[in-house]
Amino acid sequence: MAEMSSAATLTREPLTIAPPPVELEREPLVANGHGVGWLSDTIAGVAEGTPPRWWTICFVISATMMTVCFCCILYLMSTGVGVWGLGHPVMWGYAIVNFVWWIGIGHAGTLISAILFLLRQKWRTSINRAAEAMTIFAVMCAGIFPLIHIGRIWLGWWLFPIPNSNSIWPQFRSPLMWDVFAVSTYFTVSVLFWYMGLIPDLAVMRDRAKTKIRKFGYGLFALGWRGSNRHWSNYEKAYLILAGLSTPLVLSVHSIVSLDFSVSQLPGWHTTIFPPYFVAGAVYSGFGMVLTLLVPLRRMLHLEDIITVRHVELMCKVTLLTGSIVGYAYAMEFFIAWYSGNPYEKYQFLCTRAADPFIIGPLLGVKAAPYWWAYWTMVLCNVVVPQLFWFKWWRTNMLAVFVLSILVNIGMWFERFVIVVLSLHREFIPSNWGYYSPTWVDICQYLGTFGLFFTFFLLFLRYIPLIAIAEVKGVTPQADPHHPLGGAKIGGGHH
């Protein structure tokens, strides 16, 4: 293509390149050689026609759970934070656990859309749209918790630099304030990135629409996209820039969330390893959630040729990598607790967390703390479970992947529980020790956010193409002008 004009004038033997050896050949990203038209029909078809029965059932359940979530918020607002199980010394309970958990889940979407894009991982195209949608809805669920845990929710706008009648400003020397900026920027940029990726696909929906309402709705949000190459040129540049901006963003968000903890003096929180450790954990849990969502969906929506087993395997490998980083971080926390020589650190890690009533506790000669089981659930799910992904059988068996992905999510929830609650419930002096247990409002509130998440996710499946149509088309051989399937003549004097 590059030296086209000179190549055209030369007459030479057609260049023959030996095909790569069989073992080096990669499975295609779209199975069975489907063409670009098939991709439009299949992906857009999910959001057309009448919804399947399982969709309706799931939607009713999710919407009910979402209502429970809002009722809990209403109860909390009208009565006060006393309806939660918080109390001295555990002043951060479920709300912060859930906040960190949900926002961590969000990280996979941006990682897939931004970092894997910069790394030219073409397989991301089959999963990025759904993962980005998951990010946005997860951040919405996350955002609820810090907002409602401030107690007087109607004063939540004090967090933003808006002039108020006290003429006082937010206090920018606190990581909690940085968090407000990190999370709100993360949400906004995720929505922008998602929407920009959607523009060409909304145009696909517009051009396929049969009814006037759909034509108008999709047409409005497609902004008049026509697929012009002059537009694509600017579009691809903007996409690259957004990917470049989202990469430092995704790394900064969970780093800043971790600073909420690590800037304080509390043993178990005051740790320099927190920023990278939180980011790795976030990506780990995010990929867990992507697998939980997409493994059943690819089957129910008959998308096995687009989200292939190879895609699932690759996601499992990312889970394995990040899970191993998390495991390393856990080990490093113990090392530093010992190496620092700080008795409070040692107590927090050895006695509060690791000492169980059966093996390690008796070995150390200490009585197990009340939450030892939370720590070991976390280790089992986050350190042991992902190691199964070393084996191909576990990566390619869809039921196994689904079950393990749920264990990953459970493990990461317990990680946040361990960090928040275990550190707080036994700190410097024993007179300051306590026990935390959630109330029914805590639990319903948490389950309710699943309702919120799935309500939005199901609506997304219904109305928006769940796979980036234009991007998947772009990675097929039919889209490559130098591939025989893309119309290139074999041995033609093009190069």
Partner 1 sequence: MNGRPYAIMAEFDTAAGILHAAEKVHAEGFGNWDVFTPFPVHGMDRAMGLKNSKVGWFSFIGGVTGYTTGMLMIWYMNAVNYPIVIGGKPMFSPFSAFPPSYELTILFGSFGALLGMLFLNRLPRLHHPLLKNKRFALATHDRYYIVIETNDPKYSESATRKLLESLGSKHIEFVEE
Among positions 169-198, residues that touch partner 1 (CB under 8 A) are: 169-175, 177-178, 181-182, 185, 188-189, 192-193, 195-196
Does 232 sit near partner 1 (CB under 8 A)? yes
Does 214 sit near partner 1 (CB under 8 A)? no
Considering only CA atoms, which of 196, 94, 117, 160 is closest in space to residue 413?
94
Does 493 sit near partner 1 (CB under 8 A)? no
Largest Cα–Cα distance of the chain, in whole Å?
90
- The rounded distance, in Å, linking the Cα atoms of 118 and 411 is 29
How far does Cα 320 stand from its chain's mean position?
15
Nearest distance, CB of residue 192 and partner 1, angstroms: 5
Does 213 sit near partner 1 (CB under 8 A)? no
Task: Give the DSSP H/E element, type plus range, for residue 445.
Answer: helix 440-463
As a dihedral over the C-alpha atoms of residue 432, residue 438, residue 442, residue 444, rounded to 10 degrees, the angle is 180
Token pair recorded at residue 53: 């029965």
Judged by beta carbon, residue 70 or residue 232, the one nearer partner 1 is: 232
Read off the amino acid at residue 110: T
Does 85 sit near partner 1 (CB under 8 A)? no
Read off the amino acid at residue 249: L
Judged by beta carbon, residue 53 or residue 230, the one nearer partner 1 is: 230
Q: Of the listed pieces 30-38, 105-113, 422-430, 432-440, which binds partner 1 according to CB under 8 A?
A: 30-38
Buried b (16+ CB within 10 A) or exposed e, 146-177: bebbeeeeeeeeebeeeeeeeeeeeeeeebeb
Judged by beta carbon, residue 162 or residue 399, the one nearer partner 1 is: 162
Q: Of the listed pieces 284-292, 299-307, 350-358, 483-491, which binds partner 1 according to CB under 8 A?
A: 483-491
Does 160 sit near partner 1 (CB under 8 A)? no
Does 491 sit near partner 1 (CB under 8 A)? no
- The rounded distance, in Å, linking the Cα atoms of 469 and 146 is 36
State whether residue 439 is helix, strand or coil.
coil
- The rounded distance, in Å, linking the Cα atoms of 49 and 14 is 49
Does 474 sit near partner 1 (CB under 8 A)? yes
Does 124 sit near partner 1 (CB under 8 A)? no
Show contacts with partner 1 in window 243-272 (CB under 8 A).
245-246, 248-249, 252, 256, 259
Show contacts with partner 1 in window 285-304 (CB under 8 A).
none
Show contacts with partner 1 in window 397-456 (CB under 8 A).
none
Judged by beta carbon, residue 316 or residue 468, the one nearer partner 1 is: 468
